[in-house]
Amino acid sequence: MTDLVHEFILSTAVRTPDREALAYQGDRHDYAALSAAVLSLAGAFLELGLGRGERVAVYLEKRIETVTAMFGASAAGGVFVPVNSLLKPEQVSYILSDCNVRILVTSLDRLKVLAPVLAQCPDLKTVVVAGSAEEPPVIQGVSVVRWSDVLRNVDGRSGHRVIDTDMAAILYTSGSTGKPKGVVLSHRNMVAGAKSVASYLENTPDDRILAVLPLSFDYGLSQLTTAFHTGATAVLINHLLPRDIVRAVDAERITGLAGVPPLWLQLAQLKWPDECSLRYITNSGGAMQRVTLDALRAALPKVKPYLMYGLTEAFRSTYLPPSEVDRRPDSIGKAIPNAEILVLRPDGSECEPGEPGELVHRGALVSMGYWNDADKTAQRFKPLRTAQHGLPIPEMAVWSGDIVRSDEEGFLYFISRNDEMIKTSGYRVSPTEVEEVVYATQLVAEAAAIGVEHPALGQAIVVVVSARGATEVDAAALLAGCKPHLPAYMLPHRVISWQGSLPRNPNGKIDRKLLAARYEAIFTETVK
């Protein structure tokens, strides 16, 4: 029985040691080799002083060492923190400091860029540099060692004792206000999620799953856990162009491919092989446009499409079976196995079919809350009294912040978000995080970041600004000032100058809803 997430690899290595587990650019590991690498690195982390539950951050593009480091941290009894490889040094240092990272695994090039900000991470004791024989730089107060060196003379001792309700990972996601929030996942969360998803996708050891999405994204990480649970093969790719994905699918005989709506829009426009190896595709991170779905189904007539909905706080909530796509292509489906999805009114009572309410998720996938943030955890994770009456300890569920409705057959339909998060290119972006960078340029008097519907991105980030004494803000200069401090997906798509002070709501806050309503059609009008 598998209770801990790294045991997926170890257990499969016992059953089928010679089966391919992981591939990247010609480097291929079978399950026996991957299991040995994970255990060796776990021993190395212990030799470096990693304590039970201490955090190991991994700031790398997708590669073999990235996967080994994450599951090695888990096997040691630590907690892995995958950091999006697109993030800038200030954002990386915030994450390292926020969750008190003890060990950082990164590359030499990335370390050189990070070095100036690592002083802001007082709990960081060791940096492990992967993939380079060059002597790493000296950083005051931090031990910097090469990957190959830490694997020497590992004693192979067992990791700290861990049970399935202990922390396994922290995934950082943007909050509706302020800095990113660390969503804490237990081993039980991740194991239950992998088993649930693999069951309805009907994954088998013969599947070959292409890991296109960031591993810091719960949807991307799921490509690994479902593969390792079923004994399938995960193929890593850091693509530059959508065509690279089509080529990889063909070359690696890929059977499973996950994407977000903007990526599917691009892939739908490409020529696919006549005899494509794909068995299924999945979509999450926003609704796939009907025209995109139709184009993909025309190009890939034998491929099953799974339309899904999820949130990092509970990973995956619903899916629409391929057999229902023709009948209800706008639905987000029903609850995944081993989860219950409720549609509730503000008072906690259940909505009638057709009545809008908040999507609430209960079950084994509900995460442990936000790292070191009791207030935000209490806002989103609340006792649920409608599911099992009479429990002496109320069950905790997660309130998604999304408004949905159900039909008479129980299928769910997304309506809107009830917060100010911007969902762009499959990412959730905090408006205030963007605004902080805009203000730091000192080129604006006021700024408001809003999400505006966009045919390719889902939502585009638009920043409405008022000038400091001038009639208009220099948009090019503002974007140039933001670019070094924001990853590409967080950069404003457009800057709009506003004459005078930005509009306020009755509470005196900048009225983002009014601005969003005013500019809601600017991109669709451009397309027309």
- Asked if 69 and 167 sit in the same domain, the reply is yes
Residue 388 placed within a domain: no
- Asked if 498 and 412 sit in the same domain, the reply is no
- Asked if 406 and 430 sit in the same domain, the reply is no
Residue 318 placed within a domain: yes
- Asked if 261 and 320 sit in the same domain, the reply is yes
Beta bridge partners of 338: none
Residue 355 placed within a domain: no
DSSP labels for 51-99? PTT-EEEEE--SSHHHHHHHHHHHHTT-EEEE--TT--HHHHHHHHHHT
- Asked if 448 and 477 sit in the same domain, the reply is yes
- Asked if 180 and 57 sit in the same domain, the reply is yes
pLDDT at 292: 87
pLDDT at 528: 46
Task: Residue 454: give the domain boundaries.
Answer: 422-527
b/e 250-281 (16+ beta carbons within 10 angstroms → b): eebebbbbbbbbbbbbebbeeebeeebbbbbb
- Start-end of H helices in 381-472: 431-440
Residue 20 placed within a domain: no
| Residue indicated by tokens 């299991």 | 35
Q: Would you tell me how many other CB atoms lie within 10 Å of the CB of residue 229?
A: 24
- Record the pTM: 0.87
- Asked if 165 and 208 sit in the same domain, the reply is no
For residue 503, the domain's CATH number is 3.30.300.30
End position of a domain, from candidates 120, 151, 186: 186
Domains held by the chain: number: 3
pLDDT at 290: 83
- Asked if 129 and 162 sit in the same domain, the reply is yes
pLDDT at 175: 54
- Asked if 315 and 216 sit in the same domain, the reply is yes
Taking 70 as the pLDDT cut, the residues of the chain under it are 156, 175-178, 386-389, 418, 470, 505-509, 525-528
- Asked if 50 and 94 sit in the same domain, the reply is yes
Residue 445 placed within a domain: yes
Residue 384 placed within a domain: no
End position of a domain, from candidates 141, 171, 186: 186
Give the residue from 170, 119, 215, 216 showing the smallest Cα distance to 372.
170
- Asked if 171 and 201 sit in the same domain, the reply is no
- Asked if 239 and 263 sit in the same domain, the reply is yes
Residue 462 placed within a domain: yes
Q: Which amino acid belongs to residue 296?
A: L
Residue 259 placed within a domain: yes
pLDDT at 463: 96
pLDDT at 171: 97
Cα–Cα distance between 243 and 223 in angstroms, integer?
Answer: 20
Cα–Cα distance between 119 and 202 in angstroms, integer?
Answer: 47
Are 245 and 268 in contact by the 8 Å Cβ rule? The answer is no
Tokens of 277: 């190896």
For residue 286, the domain's CATH number is 3.40.50.12780
